[in-house]
Amino acid sequence: MKLTVSTPLALLVEAEDVQAVRAEDDSGSFGILPGHADFLTALGVSVMTWRDHAGGEHHVALRGGVLEVIGGREVSVATREAVCGGDLDRLEEDVLAEFQRRQAEEKAAHVDAQRLYLAAIRQIIRHLRPDAGGTP
């Protein structure tokens, strides 16, 4: 199989001799072998592993993304950010922790922005409706 992993800025992985892929989505961990049915899923912050024909294992930490299997011969991953590495323990401990921290910060910022937006809408309504305590 062919495996590609890309971010908006770079093509990180382009491997032609992939024997198996293991990734993780919200339903859990799953594997992909040659001949797999067409498939599309959203990935969480996780480490994806693949094995080449020589038996070598390779890893890439993903900050979420979309995985697609095409024709049982091609696996494509599009992600916001990824880090390749040979040391699985380091990827799981350091890189995934950093990705999860950033994701939590972005979620908190999004929640804060939504609160500000709703507060502004309430103020506008208060000023437009005299019965809501605003001035006409």
Domain membership of residue 29 (yes or no) is yes
Looking at residue 9, what is its pLDDT? 92
Q: Which pLDDT tens digit goes with each residue over 57-92? A: 999 989 889 999 999 999 999 999 888 887 777 777
Does residue 136 register a pLDDT over 60? no
Looking at residue 132, what is its pLDDT? 52
Q: Read off the CATH number of the domain in which 84 is found.
A: 2.60.15.10
Q: Which domain holds residue 16?
A: 2-106
Please report, for residues 115, 117, 120, 128, 134, the alpha-carbon distance to residue 125 in angstroms, rounded to integers and kept in the order given. Answer: 15, 13, 9, 5, 8
Q: Three-state SS for 46?
A: strand
Structure-token match 């922790």, residue found? 97
- Min mean pLDDT across 38-42, 91-95, 119-123 is at 91-95
Q: Which pLDDT tens digit goes with each residue over 12-40? A: 999 999 999 999 999 999 999 999 999 99
Domain membership of residue 46 (yes or no) is yes
Domain membership of residue 20 (yes or no) is yes
Q: Which pLDDT tens digit goes with each residue over 96-113? A: 777 777 788 888 888 989
Split into its structural domains, the chain has a count of: 1
